[in-house]
Amino acid sequence: PAPLVQVQDLKMHFPIYTGLFRRHTGDVKAVDGVSFQIQAGQTLGLVGESGCGKSTVGRTMLRLYEPTAGRVIIDGDDVASLPPEALRKKRPSMQMVFQDPQASLNPRMTLADIVSEPLHEHTDWTRAQKLERVYELMDQVGLNRRFVNRFPHEFSGGQRQRIGIARALALKPRFIVCDEPIAALDVSIQAQVVNLLEDLQEKLGLTYLFISHDLSMVRHLAQRVAVMYLGRIAELSPSTDLYSRPLHPYAEALLSAVNEPDPELALRRKRIILKGDVPSPANPPKGCNFCTRCPKVMDICKTVKPDLVEVEPGRMVACHLYTAAGSTGASEAPERK
């Protein structure tokens, strides 16, 4: 079947204006050519260090930002190019769960108001119908119906995130961007919220883009995982393959810092410390965006940007080590374990 979500060469460049006359002097290339697909009912994990552009991917997909270029096909419509009215009609089917439930809930609104807000906007239901739906949603996310008229400050962090999830579900979306939905929560309740998201996915057939800097969290949640670096995807592989044998040098370094529960794998894994800092997304390196820090850098890497291509069945990697261009110009033989 065709994937529910198809992102093609998505770019989100934020203009930089400087000086007294606010001249446009450059662009922050927060997302600089990102492509992936998600099958219906599945989860794609999107991981990377803070500032790599992963949240911007999610926000741009849902048109919270106006994309600079690219296509975002969700359930047959190219969201990136929908005119305003069509976009408004599309909104119910694609929603977002935010990182900080405290900041994303209006403190002056009750739970009932918060969760039913999308219903006011997108349905012409009666008050009673909306309230009925609110109760139904509260049941789904595990909030006691007695809480319906309480305000956000009367809830715990975990409960507030349940409210955020209920609101996201109000209009029966098919696709949800979960942007670090548990990062702001106590460790003790993180697992509860993750389990809830998994249960809801199964019951409601939801498709997730799950954004996280926590690689061990994404491992069991996502069938496939995309590793982002400086606005681009370095590797996109099935979760099991990525975690047992990362192919891209950046993915390898990132994963080397993750606690490996499998003792056999842990023994084989050596910690890779990267030199230097992530370059500015306003001025990324010309060739491979990882070339300033890559332990395996070759001459070609400094001039030619590697495309994300399938190098093994189901595994996409953007690295010259795995392409003909890389092996002909390589100073050492490409490493293929």
| Residue 296 and residue 334 in contact, taking contact as beta carbons nearer than 8 Å | no
Number of residues that bind Mg ion (CB under 5 A): 1
CB of 160 to ligand SF4, least distance (A): 40
Helix (H) / strand (E) element for 59: namely helix 54-61
Question: Nearest to residue 46, comparing CAs of 273, 326, 237, 201?
Answer: 237
Q: Where are the beta strands (DSSP E) in 39-115?
A: 43-47, 69-74, 77-78, 94-97
Residue 110 CA, chain-centre distance (Å), reads: 29
User: 158 and 193 in contact (C-beta within 8 Å)?
Assistant: yes
How far is C-alpha 123 from the geometric centre of its chain's CA atoms? 29
Least Å distance between CB 213 and Mg ion? 8
Q: Least Å distance between CB 223 and ligand SF4? A: 24
Burial class (CB within 10 angstroms; exposed 0-12, middle 13-18, buried 19+) of 171: middle
55 binds, among Mg ion, ligand SF4, none (CB under 5 to 8 A by kind): Mg ion
Among positions 70, 164, 284, 306, the unique one binding ligand SF4 when judged by CB under 6 A: 306
Q: How far is CA 120 from the centre of its chain?
A: 28
Quick note: the x/- pattern for Mg ion over 46-85, rule CB under 5 A, is ---------x------------------------------
Whole-number Cα distances in Å, 130 to 92, 138, 166, 167, 172:
15, 12, 13, 12, 13
Q: How many of the other CB atoms lie within 10 Å of CB of 231?
A: 25
Nearer to ligand SF4, 164 or 287 (CB): 287
Among 301, 308, 311, 316, binds ligand SF4 (CB under 6 A): 301
Q: Which is nearer to ligand SF4, 196 or 318 (CB)?
A: 318
Site pattern 9..48 for Mg ion (x: CB under 5 A): ----------------------------------------
Among 47, 233, 297, 311, binds ligand SF4 (CB under 6 A): 297
We find the least distance from the C-beta atom of residue 58 to Mg ion, in angstroms, to be 8
108 or 270, CB closer to ligand SF4? 270
Least distance to ligand SF4, CB of residue 301, Å: 3
Closer residue to ligand SF4 (CB): 114 or 234: 234
Kindly give, in sequence order, each residue whose CB lies less than 8 Å from that of residue 69, ignoring residues fewer than 6 positions away. 9, 10, 11
Tell me: does residue 249 bind ligand SF4 (CB under 6 A): yes
Residue 232 found at the interface with ligand SF4 (CB under 6 A): no
Interface residues with ligand SF4 (CB under 6 A) are 248-249, 288, 290-291, 294, 296-298, 301, 306, 319-321
Interface residues with Mg ion (CB under 5 A) are 55
